[in-house]
């Protein structure tokens, strides 16, 4: 990180909001839902202080609509929710992608069961969002600024995939204090061109104003698909550790990757040749990097807090070069919002070791029923 910085001890939600404000975000709309709520609370406090607007939207449908309008009008804007709330937003998120609007979305997921939702385009049509999955609060701050930059560079939506742990963990973080450079947006509607014959139209349909070139739906959708291929080639990022001599590679993303990293370090100390691979972008998935790492391994393990979603992308990347073994599973606390007993370095290490030795996995730990 270059330039002026300030250090602060912040909860993940607050750090993300500070990073967003620092990135020039001046509009946010959201609807409370655990563990996304704190993000909304911090935005509602911070944005008015910098001349921005935070809308307490009456529903997720309206939150995403408001953010759509704000981005179209030229603001750096964001919205977000949990996976449940994003389900309600999906129709609009697909159309926003087709309208080429650089919206940033914060998915503060209740665990990792929203991987398919996040990476398979969030809705209908041939659309994908860039998805960044920070491992900790420090990286969430960096990702938040990049999210706005990537969105602007491609005129394409970008999502941050966070979770309960990220939202609620306090860490010492470094925040850039230099103001973000917000590029010109000549395409944005500001109302000034009415009656000139050159007024603007922001449409997901590939239509233009009468007299201007209108690609039509098919050509427009093909152009978006081609842009997504260019994004996929340019933006895939991964974080890799101890894979060079590894017989076993453990793939994990987001905050659980921290536990995997710790477990692998522990097992390494015990002399086991195990490495870890963390997709930093979930879409585009860093498949080439994983294939490269997996080329020398005997097996690839996949740890995720779901019944098996990330594992699809892992299998597609490894393409049979090594067996892929899912070692995660569904694990939540009794509320369903938080972290279950599976997310424990010792438990994770036990499962990695069992799979490393081609032994059966121990049963998933139960987190208990209602309190």
Partner 1 sequence: MTGTSPPADVRRIGVAVPELLLTGAHHMCPGCGEPLAVRGFLEAIQALGVARRTIAVAGIGCYTSFSMTTDVDLVQALHGRAPSVATGIKRVRPDALVYTLQGDGDMVNEGLQEVLHTAARGERITCILLNNGVFGETGGHMTATTVPGQRTKNTLEGRDPTVHGHPILIGDLIARLDGAAYVARGSVHTPGAVARTTRMFRRAFETQLSGSGFSFVEVVTMCPTGWFVPTLDGPTYLHDTLGAVHVMGELKVDGRVRSTEELRAENARAEADAARRLAAGGLDEVP
Give residues in contact with partner 1 (CB under 8 A): 26-27, 29, 53, 55, 57-59, 61-75, 77, 91-92, 95, 99, 189-197, 199-205, 207-211, 214
**Least distance from C-beta 63 to partner 1, angstroms?**
8
DSSP, res 98: H
- For every residue of 151-180, DSSP letters joined together read HHHHT--EEEEEEHHHHH-EEEEEEE-SPP
Q: How far is the CB of 101 from partner 1 (least distance, A)?
A: 9
CB of 146 to partner 1, least distance (A): 23
Contacts of 141 (CB under 8 A, 6+ apart): 15, 16, 18, 19, 173, 174, 175
Residue among 5 and 193 whose Cβ is closer to partner 1: 193
Q: For the CA atoms of the chain, what is the radius of gyration? A: 21
- What is the rounded distance in angstroms from the CA atom of residue 359 to the CA atom of residue 362? 9
Query: Which lies closer to partner 1 via its Cβ, residue 194 or residue 369?
Result: 194
How many Cα atoms within 13 Å fall on the side-chain side of residue 170?
A: 3
Give the nearest distance from C-beta 55 to partner 1 in angstroms: 7
**CA-CA-CA-CA torsion for 53, 134, 236, 160, nearest 10 degrees?**
-30
**CA-to-CA distance for 43 and 55, rounded, in angstroms?**
9
Q: How far is the CB of 25 from partner 1 (least distance, A)?
A: 12
Residue in 99, 128, 310, 147 with CA at minimum distance from that of residue 229: 128
Burial group, residue 352, by CB count within 10 angstroms (0-12, 13-18, 19+): buried
C-alpha to C-alpha distance for 163 and 34, rounded to whole angstroms? 10
Closest-CA residue to 147 (of 104, 115, 184, 100)? 104
Query: Omega into 284 within 30° of 0, i.e. cis?
Result: yes
CB of 213 to partner 1, least distance (A): 12
Nearer to partner 1, 189 or 361 (CB): 189
Contact 156, 130 (CB under 8 A): yes
Helix locations, 203-329, DSSP H: 216-235, 256-269, 287-294, 310-318
Task: Kindly state the tokens that stand for 93.
Answer: 């998120």
């Amino acid at each position: 990180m270059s330039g002026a910085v300030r250090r602060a001890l912040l909860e993940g939600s607050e750090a993300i909001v500070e990073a967003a404000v620092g990135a020039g975000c001046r509009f946010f709309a959201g609807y409370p839902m655990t563990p996304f709520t704190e993000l909304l609370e911090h935005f509602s406090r911070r944005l008015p202080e910098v001349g921005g607007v935070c809308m307490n939207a009456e529903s997720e449908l309206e939150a995403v609509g408001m953010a759509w309008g704000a981005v179209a009008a030229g603001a750096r804007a964001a919205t977000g929710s949990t996976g449940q709330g994003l389900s309600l937003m999906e129709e609009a998120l697909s159309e926003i992608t087709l309208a080429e609007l650089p919206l940033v979305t914060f998915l503060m997921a209740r665990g990792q069961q929203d991987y398919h939702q996040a990476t398979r385009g969030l809705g209908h049509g041939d659309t994908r969002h860039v998805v960044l999955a920070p491992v900790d609060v420090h990286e969430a701050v960096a990702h938040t600024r990049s999210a706005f930059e990537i969105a602007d560079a491609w005129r394409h939506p970008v999502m941050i995939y966070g979770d309960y742990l990220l939202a609620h963990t306090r860490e010492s973080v470094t925040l850039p204090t230099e103001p973000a450079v917000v590029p010109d947006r000549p395409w944005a509607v500001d109302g000034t061109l009415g009656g000139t014959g050159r007024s603007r139209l922001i449409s997901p349909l590939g239509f233009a104003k009468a007299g201007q070139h209108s690609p039509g739906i098919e050509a427009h959708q093909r152009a978006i698909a081609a842009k997504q291929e260019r994004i996929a080639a340019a933006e895939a990022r991964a974080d890799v550790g101890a894979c060079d001599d590894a017989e076993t590679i453990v793939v994990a993303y987001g905050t659980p990757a921290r536990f995997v990293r710790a477990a692998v370090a522990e097992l390494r100390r015990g002399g086991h040749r195990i490495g870890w691979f963390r997709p930093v972008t979930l879409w585009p998935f860093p498949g080439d990097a994983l294939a490269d790492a997996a080329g020398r391994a005997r097996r690839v393990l996949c740890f995720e807090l779901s019944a098996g979603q990330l594992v699809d992308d892992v299998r597609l990347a490894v393409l049979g070069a090594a067996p892929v073994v899912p070692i995660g599973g569904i694990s939540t606390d009794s509320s369903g919002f938080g972290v279950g007993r599976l997310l424990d370095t010792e438990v994770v290490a036990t499962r990695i070791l069992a799979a490393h030795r081609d032994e059966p996995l121990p049963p998933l730990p139960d987190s208990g029923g209602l309190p």
